[in-house]
Amino acid sequence: MNGGAISRRSLARLLARSGFVAANEEAAELLRAAAGDGVLLRQMLERRLTGEPLPWVTGSTTFAGITLRVCPGVYVPRWQTGPLALAAAALLPTRGTGVDLCTGSGAVAAVMRRHRPQARVLATESDQAACACARANGFDIEVYEGDLDEPLPAELRGRVDVVAVVAPYVPSREIQFLPRDVRLYEPHAALDGGEDGLCVLRRAVDAAGRLLAPGGHFLTELGGTQDDMLATGLARAGLEVVDRLVDDEGDLRGLVTRKAL
Ligand SMILES: C[S@@+](CC[C@H](N)C(=O)[O-])C[C@H]1O[C@@H](n2cnc3c(N)ncnc32)[C@H](O)[C@@H]1O
């Protein structure tokens, strides 16, 4: 790269030549984040060309209609999770209590708060950097560092209206098939769900069983046949499947369940 200004078109061309499929959108995003600072733009472009996630480079992403800060080292919320976040918000009563387990940057919790500004929303996360990122995103979310429901105030047990989780759910042996940049950059603990992908999620189901009030809802992202594999755990926690979230290809993306009355 030389020292002159970079136009949007040449930036997009460069990104396309380097294999970025959404080159036009990425060029626009980089230019917006650089805000006219040519040196910064070049630094950001160099980082992006290594495969570093765009939201880490620009500092933010759009998720389910809201702008979120995503700090380097923190899992990038996926647009495919948007419907689950919106479903969780829709099920949360106006002045209810919602919990987002494994919150990462705070994405699902932030959507709940945006749609239910009078509700109490709490979030937990085991990674310190992600907790800091979720707190920096604001939205008046109470962020607790620790394992699943363990750090939450004890008085919440049996009183929560909505529990949502996007846990790591990729089976360990399938991590190798994820895109190179995801494997290289994104935190392993955000992706690897153990032998069958459900090591964290099974415990999240138990946590939801403890937290939810009768009639409360638990929503989780998952894939493949993980719904069948989770059926026994859901039944043990008193959770009945009331809806299935599927993508445009008809593939299962998540479950909405309800705690027995
Ligand atoms: C797939 S990411 C999802 C993040 C966020 N919910 C989202 O959709 O953007 C999973 C997150 O769970 C966190 N995590 C993994 N195991 C956890 C545990 N036992 N308790 C709390 N958080 C955990 C990881 O650090 C990571 O941030």
> Using one digit for the tens of pLDDT, what is the confidence trace for 215-259?
999 999 999 999 999 999 999 999 999 999 999 999 999 999 999
pLDDT averaged over every residue in the chain:
96
**Which residue's structure tokens are 């070049």?**
42
pLDDT at residue 174 in the model? 96
The predicted model gives 79-104 an average pLDDT of 98
Pick the residue whose CA is nearest to atom 18 on ligand 1: 147
State residue 4's pLDDT score: 55
Provide φ and ψ at 185, rounded to 5°.
-105, -40
Write the single-letter amino acid at 230. L
CA atoms within 13 A on the CB side of 82: 12
At 2 the pLDDT is: 45
Residue 125's DSSP bridge partners are: 145
Strand blocks (E) in 110-159? 120-125, 142-145
The answer to whether 219 and 256 have CB atoms below 8 angstroms apart is yes
| Whole-prediction pTM | 0.95
Strands 239-246 and 142-145: unpaired
Task: Check if the beta carbon of residue 123 is closer than 8 Å to that of residue 163.
Answer: no
Quick one: pLDDT at residue 233?
Answer: 98
Q: Is the pLDDT of residue 193 over 80?
A: yes
Q: Domain residues of the chain, as ranges?
A: 8-69, 79-259
pLDDT average, residue stretch 32-40: 95
Q: Find all residues with CB under 8 Å of 172, minimum gap 6, and list them.
A: 192, 193, 194, 195, 197
Cβ–Cβ < 8 Å for 63, 111: yes
Helix orientation angle between 226-236 and 199-211, rounded to the nearest 10 degrees? 30
Q: For the segment 123-173, what is each residue's pLDDT rounded down to a tens digit? A: 999 999 999 999 999 999 999 999 999 999 999 999 999 999 999 999 999
Tokens at residue 97, please? 């209590």
CA 203 to ligand 1: nearest atom: 19
Question: Does residue 208 line the site of ligand 1, with CB under 6 A?
Answer: no
Statement: 79-259 belongs to CATH 3.40.50.150: yes
pLDDT of residue 5: 75
Residue 50's pLDDT band, with cuts at 50, 70 and 90, is very high
Ligand 1 pocket, residue 75 CB under 6 Å: yes
Residue 6 contacts residue 27 (beta carbons within 8 Å): no
Expressed in angstroms and rounded, the spacing between residue 176 Cα and the centre of ligand 1 is 19
Q: What is the CA radius of gyration of the chain?
A: 19
pLDDT for 255: 98
* Residue 137 in contact with ligand 1 by CB distance below 6 A: no
Confidence category of residue 6, pLDDT binned at 50, 70, 90: confident
E strands within the chain?
Answer: 60-63, 66-69, 97-101, 120-125, 142-145, 160-165, 212-221, 239-246, 252-259
Calculate the dihedral angle through the C-alpha atoms of 17, 21, 27, 33, rounding to the nearest 10 degrees: -130
200 lines ligand 1 (CB under 6 A): yes
pLDDT (0 to 100) of residue 3: 46
Residue 192 tokens read as 């690897």
Mean pLDDT over 200-209 rounds to: 98
Which atom belonging to ligand 1 lies closest to the Cα atom of 169? 1
Q: How many percent of the chain have pLDDT more than 90?
A: 97
Tell me the mean pLDDT in the region 8-14. 94
Whether residue 220 has its Cβ less than 6 Å from ligand 1: no
